Structure 1
Amino acid sequence: MTLDLRSLTIHEESEAVPVPLDSLTTAGSPRIGGEDPEHLRLLVATENRLPPIVVHRPTMRVIDGRHRVAAARERGQETIEARFFDGSEDDAFVLAVTLNIGHGLPLTLRERTAAAARIVGTHPHWSDRVIASIAGISARTVAGLRAKVGGAAARGQVRLGRDGRAWPVDGTEGRRVAAEFIERQPELSLRQIAQLAGISPETARDVRNRLSRGLSPIPDRGRRGRPEPEQPAPPARQKRAGEAAEPPDSRSLLVQRLQSDPQFRNSPGGRALLRLLLSHTPEANNWERLAEGIPAHRSSTVARLALECSRIWEEFADRIEHTKVG
């Protein structure tokens, strides 16, 4: 089995084979809390055949299947079916985190954070977003962990992104180029600007936001000399006659405006999008009520799905942001 960084998926290249339980070790597992007794009891009691585990061949460490190994021992088995991974120990740990986030009993937030801190140290050239997607936490949390770790993890000049490309940590020149494209060709999407300037789409978004506020595309920390004072934001667009005032961050009012647009709501795509937007714009107290209804053992799974949904919406926003009005 090999680990594919670009898609963060595992490719199975070999058949499962029986492995003696006595030859396996669970040391170095991302499950710092040990086995969960209830989950272990369920595996012992099931009559179904236990799925194959994943083992790091050079060290015989269990990458995925710690509970299945314990259940097999409880059942009195001498062997268990396994597939092998032949990569490095550091990559084996990344694989362990990936598999234990994606299925089975999810890792706790404490375990995911600890795993991310370790990956920052062993793979400092990976971007915060790559590590965040592996560990199931936010990129901001990973950035904080990287700052605490310091050393080579924080000093690297380039980092590998989720697309498999190497992105410069100091994007000063890329920001300058992006600013030129934004000013000369404002119809370009964020992804097109990012590709042309050699920066990430997130950096391209920041450059455009700074330009719209009358600021330099390069933050103070990325420029030499005296920091440039922030300029006031450009004046707001004048409201049309009869147009109601609307807070810029009011999602509900924005959705209501879309609902009142016949051309939007009468198209199949518009109606489908309205249903999605309505389901994603509950009031703050509704979010709290939704959070209260999540069982503790499913909180990490829901959190990971929420993060994935946010990334999908961000990509959708990038795609339609520069759609021309006919």
Structure 2
Amino acid sequence: MPVDQVTETSLVRVAGSRPDHVSALAQCPDGLPPILVHRPTMQVIDGVHRLRAAKLRGDATIGVRFVDGSEEDAFVLAVSANVTQGLPLTLADRTAAASRILSSHPHLSDRLIASTAGLSTKTVAAIRQRTTGEMTQLHTRLGRDGKVRPLDASHGRTMASQAILNDPDLSLRAIARIAGISVGTARDVRERMRRGEDPIPPRYRLSAGHRTESEAAENNAPGNRTGGANGTPGSPSTPRAERDRFLVSLRTDPSLRFSEIGRALLRLLDANTLDAAQWDRLAAAVPQRWSPVVADLATDCAADWWALACRVRDRLRVSA
């Protein structure tokens, strides 16, 4: 595309482009690799030096690869691209980039941001503590492997213990999916409960200011357990009449009614808002030979809904 139709704004370099590097690229006899451009803003994500070199050589056009998405996501991509190829970013560039990513993407783990910005995990953790209050706002973080993990290990252990109390025959894998923890942690929770111990080790309770073992035992006693509908882990369920009122209000919200993703959310909520009798009929309709499969699929769906609930609550805390 024409070189004058893209913006040269340097997203990640504090001191801007380096003239000596531009001159070196301009003397290259071969064609320059395509630059990366954010389509909505036409800003160069990666390749400002190549763009200036093309202009210096008098090239009328330059190869371009377009990227869509938000400006915040474009910045993360720009940092990643400049860290892994081309002229290395300075420490000041990488530190400033990590600070900006922490501000726009606080749900990303320290390890993921460190690998993106070319810094150590400890450096990113120190920047997080200096520049954000995210530690007290979010319950989860997204890691390099794409998995969402809780910040507070006691939260997942509590959910796992409630799941075991509600259904002692649950597999370790099912418990891990429900509570958002590893299979190994689920095994440790089950073994602690078998020995009559608190599923939350003392180091977690003392560091996070959690309840004592006697308080946990009291809350887990029959009749005192907290849970959702039909004994599922979580906070007490919303009364059916109130849920129906919420759904009516949601259906009248233009931001949901007139967007494809909003209508999809409404359809999913409608399909999953059943009363106890309807859930009983669904359970009774499952052929016995398919019971293990349906139970595992239902557990997976429950874990997905729980992950959605965590994401929605975390967004609310960040905006508060």
TM-score when scaled to structure 1? 0.51
Out of 200, 207, 228, the position equivalent to 1:221 is 207
Contact 2:102 2:132 in 1 (8 A): no
Deviation at 1:63, TM superposition (A): 0.4
* Structure 1 match to 2:99: 117
Deviation at 1:175, TM superposition (A): 6.0
Deviation at 1:216, TM superposition (A): 3.4
* Pair 1:156-2:138 in alignment: yes
Aligned with 2:202: secondary structure? Answer: coil
What is the letter of the counterpart of residue 172 of structure 1? S
Change (3 A) 1:103 1:73: same
Is the radius of gyration larger for structure 1 or structure 2?
2
Q: Deviations over 1:139-180 (max 9, x none)?
A: 2211222122224575111111112111112112446899xx
The residue correspondences of 1:122-133 to structure 2 (distance < 5 A) are 122-133=104-115
* Structure 2 match to 1:37: 19
Change (3 A) 1:29 1:154: farther
Change (3 A) 1:177 1:108: same
Deviation at 1:197, TM superposition (A): 7.1
The residue correspondences of 1:278-317 to structure 2 (distance < 5 A) are none
* Structure 1 match to 2:33: 51
* Structure 1 match to 2:285: none
Out of 79, 88, 92, the position equivalent to 2:61 is 79
Aligned with 1:80: secondary structure? Answer: coil
Aligned with 1:218: secondary structure? Answer: helix
**RMSD over aligned Cα atoms:** 3.3
Deviation at 1:20, TM superposition (A): 1.6
Aligned with 2:144: secondary structure? Answer: coil
Aligned with 2:36: secondary structure? Answer: strand
Aligned with 2:63: secondary structure? Answer: strand
Contact 2:10 2:48 in 1 (8 A): no
Change (3 A) 1:171 1:31: same
* Structure 2 match to 1:169: 151
Out of 121, 124, 127, the position equivalent to 1:139 is 121
Q: Unpaired segments of 5 or more residues in structure 1?
A: 1-18, 179-192, 205-214, 227-326
Distance across 1 between alignment mates of 2:154 and 2:3 = 54
Contact 1:147 1:154 in 2 (8 A): no
Contact 1:53 1:83 in 2 (8 A): yes
Distance across 2 between alignment mates of 1:163 and 1:225 = 32
Which has the bigger relative contact order, CA under 8 A and spacing at least 6? 1
Deviation at 1:26, TM superposition (A): 2.5
Q: Deviations over 1:165-206 (max 9, x none)?
A: 11112112446899xxxxxxxxxxxxxx998974479x99xx
The residue correspondences of 1:5-24 to structure 2 (distance < 5 A) are 19-24=1-6
Change (3 A) 1:173 1:154: closer
Aligned with 1:79: secondary structure? Answer: coil
What is the letter of the counterpart of residue 220 of structure 1? L
Contact 2:110 2:124 in 1 (8 A): yes
Contact 2:10 2:16 in 1 (8 A): no
Aligned with 1:142: secondary structure? Answer: helix
Q: Unpaired segments of 5 or more residues in structure 2?
A: 161-174, 187-200, 213-320
* Structure 1 match to 2:252: none
Distance across 2 between alignment mates of 1:224 and 1:146 = 24
